């Protein structure tokens, strides 16, 4: 079904808003992916805070022109492509698509648009997908910060425990 001019303008405006607010926009090719699989992917992406759009590349290029990303190299944007946007987490869209690509090998990374206005290749997107998420990194940071304190508490309690064991053994020998 052909899009009307008003629908195209509305879609370009939505894409412009998504592109300008996204920290990372991952681009992937999805030939042969079933509708049911795409619905599953959309559900997984929604749970992760990622927005998926399938749009004509010409409209995406037009949306890029109306943002700060107008100087991005768009030569790789050919064929039937899926765009994954996330304004909260830099690696979330790459992780969602990489997880989906494990079960659906028909999904192939093309690249990604960064918030700074550069286009990175598919290998770099795969490397980003292997990184831990923001939540995991925060948990690791808290654990790292708390480790010396918990180690100190364990050392101090070990001394007290040793004194108590000696006193307990001494009390048993007296009785």
Mean pLDDT confidence for 34-51:
89
In tens, the pLDDT along 105-143 reads 888 898 888 878 888 888 988 988 888 877 888 888 888
Question: Does 42 score more than 80 pLDDT?
Answer: yes
Dist CA 36 CA 39 (whole Å)? 5
What is 5-131's CATH number, 3.40.800.20, 3.30.70.1730, 3.40.50.20, 3.40.50.2300?
A: 3.30.70.1730
Phi-psi region of 141 (alpha: psi -120 to 50; beta: other; left: phi over 0): alpha
Strand order in the sheet with 24-29: 51-54, 81-86, 24-29, 108-114, 119-121
Average pLDDT value over all residues in the chain: 85
Per-domain boundaries in the chain: 5-131, 132-175
Rounded to a whole number of angstroms, the distance between the first and last alpha carbons of the chain is 94
* Cβ atoms of residues 76 and 27 within 8 Å: yes
């Amino acid at each position: 079904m052909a899009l009307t001019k008003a629908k195209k303008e509305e879609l370009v405006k939505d894409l412009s808003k998504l592109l300008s607010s996204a920290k990372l926009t991952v681009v992937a090719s999805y030939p042969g992916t079933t509708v049911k699989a795409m619905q599953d992917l959309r559900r997984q992406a929604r749970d992760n805070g990622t927005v998926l759009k399938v749009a004509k590349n010409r409209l995406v290029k037009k949306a890029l022109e109306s943002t700060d990303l107008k100087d991005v190299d768009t030569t790789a944007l050919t064929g039937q492509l899926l765009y994954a946007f996330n304004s909260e987490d830099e690696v979330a869209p790459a992780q969602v698509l990489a997880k989906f690509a494990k079960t659906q090998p028909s999904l192939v990374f093309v690249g990604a648009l960064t918030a700074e206005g550069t286009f990175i290749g598919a290998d770099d997107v795969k490397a980003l997908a292997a990184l831990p998420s923001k939540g995991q990194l925060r948990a690791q940071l808290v654990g790292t910060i708390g480790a010396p304190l918990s180690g100190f508490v364990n050392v101090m309690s070990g001394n007290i425990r040793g004194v108590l064991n000696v006193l307990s053994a001494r009390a048993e020998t007296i009785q």
